[in-house]
Amino acid sequence: MPNIELPHNHNINTDVIHEYTTHTDNFQIVSNIFKQLSDSNRLRIFWLLCHCEECVINISAITEMSSPAVSHHLKQLRASNLIVSRRDGKEVYYKASDTTQATLLHSMIENLVEISCPKNNIEK
């Protein structure tokens, strides 16, 4: 790993910084996750599914969205591995993935709501 000489020396370990920032694929993966959650409706659906398992019709009623719109968002969240589904007869139920990533994102969302919207805190 080459030692990078910066125009201004602020006494940082450039080897560590360079090593971390050269992995652009890692930043792309995280960016894609943030893109999924940048839509407020998708964010609401993800938050909801962190708290319960629901079918499309109930998610639609809770979020006051059409079933096709909810299905569209669910498809994107599933593609990002943030939620999982299971079929029970004709009904499909969705919930947040049981992964560290989903758990951390859920915690981040709740913390950001608490910090950014103190008058509208979500009861835990």
Radius of gyration for the alpha carbons in the chain, expressed in angstroms and rounded: 19
Whether residue 120 is predicted with pLDDT greater than 70 in this model: the reply is: no
- Total structural domains within the chain: 1
Query: Would you mind telling me the total number of residues written for the chain in this entry?
Result: 124
In a domain, residue 4? The reply is no
In a domain, residue 34? The reply is yes
In a domain, residue 72? The reply is yes
Q: Indicate the average pLDDT of the chain.
A: 88
Q: Which helix (H) or strand (E) holds 87?
A: strand 83-88
Give the separation between CA 88 and CA 116, rounded to whole angstroms. Answer: 38
In a domain, residue 88? The reply is yes
- 53 Cβ neighbours under 8 A, 6+ residues apart: 93, 94, 95
Give the separation between CA 124 and CA 110, rounded to whole angstroms. Answer: 9
Whether residue 60 is predicted with pLDDT greater than 90 in this model: the reply is: yes
Q: What percentage of the chain exceeds 90 in pLDDT?
A: 58
pTM (predicted TM-score):
0.78
Q: Two tokens at 121? A: 């805190």
In a domain, residue 2? The reply is no
Determine the average pLDDT of the residues in 104-109. Answer: 93
What range does the domain containing 76 cover? Answer: 14-120
Instruction: Decide: 9 and 15 in contact? Cβ < 8 Å.
Output: no
In a domain, residue 70? The reply is yes
Give SS3 for 5.
coil
